[in-house]
Structure formats: C-alpha cells, structure tokens
Amino acid sequence: MARVWGDATRRIAQYLPHYFHEAVEAGFRQRGLDDNQAYEAAIREVGMRIGRSGEDLLGWLFRRHSEVFMTAHQLDHVEVALERAGIRRRPPRMPEAAVFADLSGYTALTEASGDEIAADVAMAFAELANEVATRHRGSVVKLLGDGVLLHFADPGDAVRASLALVAEAPALGLPPTHIGVNAGPMLYDQGDYFGRTINIASRIASHAEPGRVYVGESLVGAVPQEGFTLTQLGATELKGVAEPMILYEAHPGP
C-alpha cells in the first residue's frame, strides 16, 4: 500500500515543478523579467494558490474515486452473499479486455523533427487516448512512449473505443494508430495488469497495420457486435506465441 501511494504522490510532486517552470514562470519571463525575478513573481502571485488548491483538489479526487471503486467492491460482496444464501446467482463475468495502441512512424518522426516535437505528439496522443477511454468506460493503465495500454471491463467497449481512437487521431494531426485488442483473464496488482491476455494484445498491436484495429479470437463471441463488425483475417503467427491465432479486423458498423 505504501509503495502504491508513494509512487502516485511522487509523480504528482515531480511533475509540479516542471509544470510550474514551463507553464507559469514562462509567462513572467515573457514580460521581460530575468530567471530569478520570474521565479519569485510566479511563487508570489501563483505558487501559493497552486499549493493550497492542489492539496484540496487531491483530497477531493481521492474521495470521489474511492466512492466509485469501494462501491463496486461492496456490490461484489453483496452478490456473493446473495448467491450463498440461495437467493440470486451471480451473473456470469464478462471477460476483460486489454488494448494496446501505438503511433505509426514515431521513430521516424523523432529523427526528422526532434525530441521536443515527438514528445508533444506523444502527449497529445495520450490525452486523446484518455478522453476516448473515459467515454467508453475504460481507463488508461500506463503510457508507453509512443503508445498506451488501456483496460476495459467490457470487450465491446474496448473495440468501440479503439475504432474511435483510430478515427480521431488524424483529425488532431497525429500519425496513424495501429491497435491490438484481446479479451481474457488478467492479473491486477499495484495499478497494473499482467498476464497472457496483455501479452497477446501487445503482439496483435505490433502486427496491425496503420489505421487498423485487429482483434484476438478470444473476443469473438464473448460480446455482441454492437457498433462494430469483425472480419476474419485468418490464422496469424505472433511473436512469442506458440500456436498461430485467428485474428479479426474491426470496422465501424451498426
């Protein structure tokens, strides 16, 4: 518990001076103040308010997120109690889904445009991925430089979010995205997901062509195809996977 809390708060504390220097102090430097004067003015006029409001916001966000996750946990216990009492059987659990999304040509972009431009592109993609995942009841697990790992409780949401991501990325001037989706059991610990389902989703993403969403065979039949259709691509050998897997391509649909 201490490790998870410590890592999360460390990331916030580490980002704060970076944001303060790049976003807040920069405005004062643009007024003609030298570096030290800009720092002192930023602390005096903005910094104190950021510190107080940031702590209030952090506490409020923690309470709201806790309400969501603890309520879901309590409902799980209620379902177990009802089933053991013979009142109501627990509904079958739908498999979870992992989504790996990567930007195509990111290495070439870095070589051609430099690290700063590439970093801006990666952050814009991360923001888009977070927005799309939230709209489809998913979450960003972690950023991977030019890619992102997403988690969805509903595999159908994972496919719909993936299609939205490949459609919306070009409108923001981002390179084409290639995505792999896979469904199945996962292990969760300390804010991350592990297991074969995750590994295969990553391999599928590596095999997907730019602007395409490829889906593993374990998802087919697990959820109704609502808002998308799947076309079979055939048996495919994936790196590190012993047996060839049948992959499908997802398309927007009714």
Report the DSSP pairing between strands 192-194 and 245-252: unpaired
Judge residue 46's burial from the number of C-beta atoms within 10 Å of its C-beta, 0-12 exposed, 13-18 middle, 19 or more buried: middle
Give which of 192, 183, 186 is closest to 155, Cα–Cα: 183
Q: What is the pLDDT of residue 47?
A: 83
CA-to-CA dists, residue 195 to 33, 34, 59, 191, 217, angstroms: 53, 52, 33, 14, 17
**H or E segment and range at residue 51:** helix 48-84
Class of domain 96-252: alpha beta
Q: Is the dihedral of CA 151, 154, 159, 163 positive or negative?
A: negative
**At residue 198, what are phi and psi to the nearest 5 degrees?**
-65, -45
Q: Helix 48-84 to helix 2-19 angle, to the nearest 10 degrees? A: 150
CA-to-CA dists, residue 222 to 78, 105, 217, 218, angstroms: 25, 33, 10, 7
Give which of 183, 130, 188, 179 is closest to 156, Cα–Cα: 183
Which strands sit side by side in the sheet containing 213-216, from one edge to the other?
A: 138-143, 147-152, 96-103, 177-184, 213-216, 245-252, 228-236
Give which of 214, 229, 176, 230 is closest to 100, Cα–Cα: 214
Q: Which two tokens stand for residue 120?
A: 């801006």
Show me where the domains of the chain are located.
Answer: 2-84, 96-252
Q: Which two tokens stand for residue 136?
A: 């489809």
CA-to-CA dists, residue 156 to 31, 50, 243, angstroms: 51, 40, 25
Give which of 213, 215, 199 is closest to 149, Cα–Cα: 199
Query: How many angstroms separate the CA atoms of 248 and 234, rounded?
Result: 7
Q: What is the pLDDT of residue 134?
A: 95
Query: How many angstroms separate the CA atoms of 67 and 70, rounded?
Result: 5
Q: What is the pLDDT of residue 107?
A: 82
Q: What is the pLDDT of residue 118?
A: 87
pLDDT truncated to tens, each residue of the chain (254 aa)? 888 889 888 988 898 888 889 889 999 999 999 999 999 999 988 887 777 788 888 899 999 999 999 999 999 999 999 999 999 998 888 889 999 999 988 888 888 888 888 888 999 999 999 999 999 999 999 988 789 999 999 999 999 999 999 999 998 889 999 999 999 999 998 888 999 999 999 999 999 999 999 999 999 878 888 999 999 998 988 888 888 999 999 999 87
Cβ contacts of 158 within 8 Å, gap of 6 or more: 97, 98, 99, 136, 138, 150, 152, 181, 183, 219
**H or E segment and range at residue 199:** helix 196-207
